[in-house]
Amino acid sequence: MKYYKKTKLKRLSYTLVVGLIIILSITAYTFKGQVYRSLVTINLGSLYVDYINSKSQFLNQVNQVDIPSVSVDLSNNNFVKIQKERSNMVNNYILTGSQWDGDNKYYKAKFTDRYTSSKSEIRLFGMNSDHFRNPRSHSFRIRFDGAKGIGKKTQNFLHPRSRDFITDPLLNIFYDKIYNGIRINYEPYIVYLNKTNYGIFFAEDFFDKYLIEGNKRRESVIFEVVNDSLEFNYLGEDNSLKSLGEELYLLYKYDYQKFLKKIDENKVKAVLKLCLLVNSGHPLSGINLHWYYNPVSDKIEPTIREAWIRKLSVDDIHNFPENLDLPIENQILFDIVQKINPNSIIAELKDELDEIENIIAFDIDYAELLKSMTGYSSFIKSRQRLLEENINLVRSIEIDSDLFPKEKQTIHRIANDTLIRGEFVVHENQTLLIDKDLTITLDGGYIKVLGAFEAKGSPNRKINFKGVNNSGTLFFNTSKEVSIENVVFENLTNIQSKYNQPASITFYECDKVYINNSYFKSNLRGDDYINFFRTKNAIVQNSFFENVLNDAIDSDFSKLIVTDTNFINVGNDAIDGSGSDIEIYNSYFESVMDKIISAGENSDIVAEDNEFRNSEIAIVSKDGSRLNSLNNKFINNNLDIASFIKKRFYDYPEIVIDTFSSNNYLIELGSKVIGIDSIQFISDVESKLYGNLYGRASE
């Protein structure tokens, strides 16, 4: 009897076990997606990230690679809240398999690095699970609260795997150094969040003013195209550029073809080339592809981000750009691509492969990044091998270059006095020559030079550019030489440009500008008489600036030499440098109503053997700039020297001066000054300038 009961119970147990297995199997099959996402993507994926984090930091230590660390600290309450949000994101992914499209809140935090400590706010970001699956290595976005050296910038912190380790950083180096595109920077840090080691993260530039300034471009808007509409990531500080955003939005909705003409096709081609090279169309989706409106060129430039390298095949190249699976929702990109011959893009890319390989082999920025990422060397090497194979494959493709002949160079000569109304364009394949002893009269005229330009008068037979009635504006954007000698510019304005051009004469991204023995006087309107913007090599010598309305020369992110030149009766600054390398020799300045020389935004300026007389402020160094004053004469100026921080994003400025015994200066505490004994430092120099006690009020 006992034996019978035992057998019965045993059979019942087997039945229950089998039934349970069947139920679990049915459940697992029914919810196999959820089970896979939970077990593999989230849990095993998190363990894998923990493993490569530990391995990478160990390898960096073994190889004595020093990576700076940053700490982000939240209150216990805020840390719990942010982890709860992360859990909600994980649960949403497990249950639905869909990307996260919910809201994430900002939480107050304290940010600390080796240089500074700043109040900040952080929030989770990222739509795909790699951004949020791991509680000890999730992505986050941080916005700072104005600390010195950081400002109010925003950055993304994320695991290198989310940017394919080296693919995104390298493509952005290519895009910047070969195609002059906007570069998104990736700086590696070891991140501690509430004292937990998150591993090596990238600090990724965000789409804000600091990305724009870091790429030496003028303040403007950044947007993406979502659901056939423009969504703006940046509209200027305090939405100061909202009207510009509305203008672009209305143009997109109601005059689409005109909007399309503003797209910078060369930059789009560059992005397509890079996407082809890594065989990835992911950067081209609407939410990944961001656009910057360049107010100087009136062009809309794309950025590149979120590429994943794949092996390229001959079929991929022959099917380009269809192999990239261009997103239908990105109508702008789709329409631009229809206008471009795919074979011309491949042919151009073949010609540029040597430059690409040189960057991989010799570029300092890339070499430093590789060194700091030693811990991920196995992942990086595998991607570099793929890239090298793709490069070799593209190089092997035969393209008939005769199908894409270069335009024939032509010469256009002005041999008689000429009146210009409306737009006068010198195209890339043209050279404009202007004969001696002529007058070019501008009445509502706009001269746009994209090719070579030569206006060479003589001391007794000068060339005259003269504005009358509605006056005129000049704009140069060329890699060819611009030569201006013995030319007089008078009564010009900035308003005849179709673009946001603050100067009467603008040299934008010019490779070589030579100005000699020329006169610039009596401009009618504009922030500057001349604006050098991202110009590589400009020389102004033996020239005269007189009766200038505001700034005489404004140099933005340019390299400039000024010698033996007079500046008399200037309404604002004589020479204003931002992010520029400027040398000023043997020049004379008198009756300058604001600053004679202003060094700003990390400029390097050398001023030697000049005379600064009867002006408001002689020399100013601010915002991380370095100004070296040698053997200059300071005579009867209201203020000789000023040094301060205007924008908190920058470090303290420097001034080196060889001979200076006056106390006619304002030096802000923290500034680095060599050559003045027993300096009396003060705080908040800016409050005493710009028309308050010294200088001219900003408009």
DSSP element (H, E) containing 528 = strand 528-533
What is the 8-class DSSP label of residue 108?
A: E
Helix or strand (DSSP H, E) at 186: strand 186-193
- Between vectors from CA 570 to CA 568 and to CA 574, what angle results, nearest 5°? 90
* Distance between CA atoms of residues 644 and 642, nearest Å: 7
Q: What is the pTM of this model?
A: 0.88
Over the chain (699 residues), what is each successive 10-residue block's mean pLDDT? 52 66 60 77 85 87 89 94 93 88 92 88 92 92 84 92 94 96 96 94 94 93 89 91 93 92 94 95 89 93 95 92 77 84 90 95 94 92 95 89 73 94 93 95 95 95 95 95 97 86 94 97 93 95 96 96 97 95 97 95 95 95 94 94 86 88 86 85 85 77
CA gap 149, 67 in Å, rounded: 19
Please, which contacts does 232-240 make with residues 24 or more away whose CB atoms are closer than 8 Å? 233/207, 233/208, 233/290, 234/207, 234/208, 234/209, 236/209, 237/209
Q: How far is CA 102 from the centre of its chain?
A: 29
Distance CA 450, CA 430 (A): 8
Distance CA 166, CA 278 (A): 12
CA atoms of 356 and 72, how far apart (whole Å): 37
The pLDDT assigned to 116 comes to: 83
DSSP character for 533? E
What pLDDT, on a 0 to 100 scale, did the predictor assign at position 30? 57
Q: Which of 582, 576, 630 is nearest to 604 (CA)?
A: 582
CA distance readout (Å), 564 to 464, 530, 561, 608: 21, 17, 10, 11
Per-residue pLDDT, 10: 60
Contacts of 149 (CB under 8 A, 6+ apart): 115, 116, 648, 649, 650, 651
Q: Are 643 and 621 in contact (CB under 8 A)?
A: yes
Q: CA-CA distance, 481 to 514, in Å (whole number)? A: 8
3-class secondary-structure state, position 633: strand
CA distance 622 to 172: 30
* Of 142, 144, 141, the residue nearest 162 (C-alpha): 141
Q: Is the Cα dihedral 694, 695, 696, 699 positive or negative?
A: negative
Comparing CA positions, the residue from 187, 190, 191 lying closest to residue 204 is: 187
- pLDDT value of residue 427: 93
Contacts (Cβ under 8 Å, ≥6 apart) of 666: 639, 641, 642, 643, 644, 682, 685, 688, 689, 694
Measured CA to CA, the distance from residue 456 to residue 439 in angstroms comes to 13
- The residues, ordered by sequence, that sit 6+ positions from 542 with a Cβ below 8 Å of its Cβ are 516, 517, 563, 564, 565
Q: Which two tokens stand for residue 346?
A: 């491949």
| Confidence (pLDDT) at 252 | 92
Burial bucket for residue 51 (CB in 10 Å: 0-12, 13-18, 19+) = exposed
Residues 410 and 432 sit within 8 Å (Cβ to Cβ): no
Please calculate the CA angle 572-210-83 and round it to the nearest 5 degrees. Answer: 150
pLDDT the model gives residue 610: 96
Give the number of C-alpha atoms closer than 13 A to the C-alpha of residue 600, restricted to the C-beta side. 19
* CA distance to 254, 331, 336, per residue, from 257 (Å): 9, 12, 11
Most distant CA pair in the chain, distance? 133
Number of neighbouring beta carbons within 10 Å of residue 364: 8
Dihedral angle at the C-alpha atoms of 555, 560, 566, 567, nearest 10 degrees?
10
* Residue boundaries of the structural domains of the chain: 31-206, 248-373+380-404, 411-536, 557-699
Q: Is 460 exposed, middle or buried (0-12, 13-18, 19+ CB in 10 A)?
A: exposed
Residue 332, pLDDT score: 84
Residue-level pLDDT at 25? 61
**Backbone dihedral angles phi then psi of residue 253, each to the nearest 5 degrees:** -80, -35
Beta-bridge mates of residue 431: 411, 452
Residue 589: name the closest of 560, 553, 625 by CA.
Answer: 553
